[in-house]
Structure 1
Amino acid sequence: MPGLAQAAAFNVDHATQLWLRTLSGPAKARSDAYFEGGEWLGLWGALISVALCWFLLRIRLLPAIRDIMHRRGWRPWLGMLACAVVFIIADTVLSLPWSIYEGYWREKQYGLMNQSLGAWLGDQAIALALNVVLGSLLLLVIYAVIRRFPKRWWLIGTGVMGAAITFGVLITPVFIVPLFNTATELPNGPVRERVVAMAKANGVPAEHIYLIDSSRQSDRISANVSGIGPTIRISLNDNLLNKTSVAETAAVMGHELGHYVLGHVWRTIIVLTLLMGLLLWLASRIAPALIRYGGEGWSVRALSDPASLPVLAGVLSVLSLLATPVTNTLIRVDESEADAFGLDAAREPDGFAAAAMKLSTYRKIEPGPLEELLFFDHPSGKTRVTMAMQWKKDHVPNAVEVVPPPLPEPKTPAPQP
């Protein structure tokens, strides 16, 4: 247990600094290097996506598929489906070296990956199968809308995307998560008792609380209240259960319950749908101009042509990158609200601070204001610890500072970003 330091008056800034000092030396260097290097991944990922789309346009892969389907007398929707499947597979295969670097090698380098390369590739194969099935069906519907409503397709497409996002949230806990991890009932004990008590006190269904075996993939701690309607589930991963105290776990789960009580899932669906509508509207202006520019060199006839998929995908990749500060801010606002809710629900400010510091082993602990605004989709560790200490001062009579022990130092020095 952290030591206690008596204080005549609880000082929020000093109490915060005591917690921040638990991450220092090589551990802080590793955290900063990991996060700062990650700030560039979105940019490089978008550039690689655009380059691959340009390559597919230059080799005229989809026009060849389109023409073969046409010569064989296949129905237009089957030709569209074939182009979508080929595009998804080609894009995934061509981007595999980057995916291995970003999703496996870099995570392994920073000590965050527990899988072998073979196991990781197995998960990627499952993800590819899901993308082929669900992604191609979504593209089939989007292109049907483009053909039927060439002027206002983006407006109807926004509704389609909203339905797709909602469907994804609905099915993920029950049908998607089990493809990658095993979920079992959280065993009876102090953690389950605390979670059930908080859930019942806040009107959250708690008949089942699931433990996810995420440690087979990474050492990250995590929890969520996922799904909507009949698929709502309270889940925490085994890293959270095994690497945190009961007070820390309760603080994290109070935060996750806040997302449910505050209606963040529905708000996120609505906001992301509206944002997607804006991106589709911009794409409806930009993509046709690019197709006219490409001309015969690409063999793409119009946006309604299934061979235009690389154009639309490339445009949306760039627009999504530009929208990143907006999406980060929207998510960060929800996370901050859930933090405040979780502090009230769990009443564990020091547990909350301890959990925030453990998360900061791979999230930069003290970013500058602009850096946090642009690149953080969660409040920074310093912001969260400060909030917890302010809550403690306001709600705990005769509050005392804690002197927590340092977080474990990494076994190896921080890699160069």
Structure 2
Amino acid sequence: MGLLAGLPTLAHAAAFDVDHAAQLWLNTLSGPAKARSDAYFEGGEWLALWNALFSVGICWFLLRIRLLPAVRDGMHRRGWRPWLGVLACALVFIMADSLLSLPWAIYEGYWREKQYGLLNQSLGAWLGDQAIGLALSAVFGSVLLLVIYAVIRKYPKRWWLIGTGVVGLAITFLVLITPVFIVPLFNTSSELPNGPVRERVVAMAKANGVPAEHIYLVDESRQSDRISANVSGIGPTIRISLNDNLLKKTSVAETAAVMGHELGHYVLGHVWRMIVVLTLLMGLLLWLASRIAPALIRYGRESWGVRGLADPASLPVLAGLLSVLSLLATPVTNTLIRVDESEADAFGLDAAREPDGFAATAMKLSAYRKIEPGPLEEMLFFDHPSGKTRVTMAMQWKKDHVPNAVEVVPSPLPDPKTPGSRP
């Protein structure tokens, strides 16, 4: 079994104590670093609420100023076809929502990330990425909304059911094209160089039937210091990728542990399962929206200028309502994702056989994930198992699968920047 070269010493024990071995890893996170990690993650929990409220506030404002009714009526006066009116309302709504959200987005996505030392971009570079994201949202979002409103007009009572199928197809399409067409808009990918890391990844991929003709290294360090990897895409677009931070910041054992986890998602069919689950969840939200939105529209008909759910001017009503419903569904969504992640963790431990590498990586993720949440907090707010859960799982695997297992006494993690310091 590979150990973390140069880092740990070994503490021999007659019997391997899982809890004590896990605690040795948890102790590598200093008090100030743990406080910083907790503060960042707990602040993010509140941000989910503020994001929903902010979205509702923007939608209410757009309804009050009757922006989309003005666009709708203007297109009608000019004699444009109804579908073009829907497309125009969708584009105007997406652009107006993005513009009004920009100050909050700068705080949440740029300033706060900088304060915690998690972002490497300048404001100009960050805004450039946001502009690309907005362009993609405008194209894909407006087309999706055009189809959804066509379904609402044609099937006013069952639109939510057919719309669920439309959303499922949209999710599948995005998963298909993202590795090949979306990722290159933000980052450059190149073949992972030959060496110990590539050899380990190729060996694990072949052992588990994962296509490994190409393994890509992505330059995500231009955006942040976060470590990540994935097996993305479906069908002909499946590819194995890891970011350059993972290569720079982890040992071969740690990288192998991470890639074993990512290979697990592919082998266990998590992409397809998640597409189905998210589609069904969206179906539930659309069904609820189909029951609640008409009542909201009747309430605000005179002041908002919205004629009905099939009216594209109802977009702010649907968007605000879905923001609230999505927030309420967050614990369900997190649990569904967390189950997949836990399964991939177990698979990765079997595939890589690097429990200490896995534990080391789990601890490094404490830069932006709270390491020891309470059970209720983990259930409600974590879409991945917590660091403590993962380290304990790794040590249990070590006890069960490594003959004469010994505890590792790892070196402390370096203290990151404190909140409010200059990045």
TM range (shorter): over 0.9
Distance 1:114 1:214, change over 3 A: same
Is 2:187 the partner of 1:175?
no
Please state whether the residue corresponding to 1:139 is helix, strand or coil: helix
Aligned to 2:200: 194
Letter in 2 for 1:364: K
Is 2:26 the partner of 1:39?
no
Letter in 1 for 2:78: R
Give, in angstroms, the shift of residue 25 of structure 1: 1.8
Deviation track 1:216-270 (CA, whole Å, cap 9, x = no partner) reads: 0000000000000000010000000000000000000000000000000000000
Give, in angstroms, the shift of residue 26 of structure 1: 1.4
Total equivalences in the alignment: 415
**Residues 119, 223 of structure 2: 8 Å contact kept:** yes
Partner Cα distance (2:305, 2:419) in 1? 51
| Match of residue 342, structure 2, among 311, 336, 346 | 336
Matches within 5 A, 1:63-212: 63-212=69-218
Aligned to 2:243: 237
Give, in angstroms, the shift of residue 411 of structure 1: 3.5
Give, in angstroms, the shift of residue 414 of structure 1: 6.8
Aligned to 1:312: 318
Question: Which runs of no fewer than 5 residues in structure 2 stay unpaired?
Answer: 1-5
Letter in 1 for 2:252: V
Give, in angstroms, the shift of residue 16 of structure 1: 0.3
Partner Cα distance (2:233, 2:173) in 1? 10
**Residues 120, 222 of structure 2: 8 Å contact kept:** yes
Give the alignment's Cα RMSD to 1 decimal.
0.7
Aligned to 1:252: 258
Identity percentage of aligned residues: 88
Distance 1:412 1:10, change over 3 A: same
**Residues 23, 361 of structure 1: 8 Å contact kept:** no
Alignment TM-score, normalising by the size of structure 1? 0.99
Partner Cα distance (1:180, 1:227) in 2? 17
| Match of residue 299, structure 1, among 305, 323, 331 | 305
**Residues 33, 414 of structure 1: 8 Å contact kept:** no
Partner Cα distance (1:267, 1:234) in 2? 19
Aligned to 1:268: 274
Please state whether the residue corresponding to 1:360 is helix, strand or coil: helix
| Match of residue 363, structure 2, among 353, 357, 366 | 357
Please state whether the residue corresponding to 2:15 is helix, strand or coil: coil
Alignment TM-score, normalising by the size of structure 2? 0.97
**Residues 254, 343 of structure 1: 8 Å contact kept:** yes
Aligned to 1:280: 286
Distance 1:364 1:53, change over 3 A: same
Distance 1:413 1:314, change over 3 A: closer
Partner Cα distance (1:198, 1:411) in 2? 36
Partner Cα distance (2:304, 2:35) in 1? 47
Please state whether the residue corresponding to 2:117 is helix, strand or coil: coil
Letter in 2 for 1:389: M
Is 2:32 the partner of 1:26?
yes
Partner Cα distance (2:254, 2:65) in 1? 54
Please state whether the residue corresponding to 2:211 is helix, strand or coil: coil
Give, in angstroms, the shift of residue 412 of structure 1: 3.0
Please state whether the residue corresponding to 2:340 is helix, strand or coil: helix
Please state whether the residue corresponding to 1:44 is helix, strand or coil: helix
Distance 1:319 1:413, change over 3 A: closer
Is 2:408 the partner of 1:406?
no
Distance 1:151 1:411, change over 3 A: closer
Please state whether the residue corresponding to 1:95 is helix, strand or coil: helix
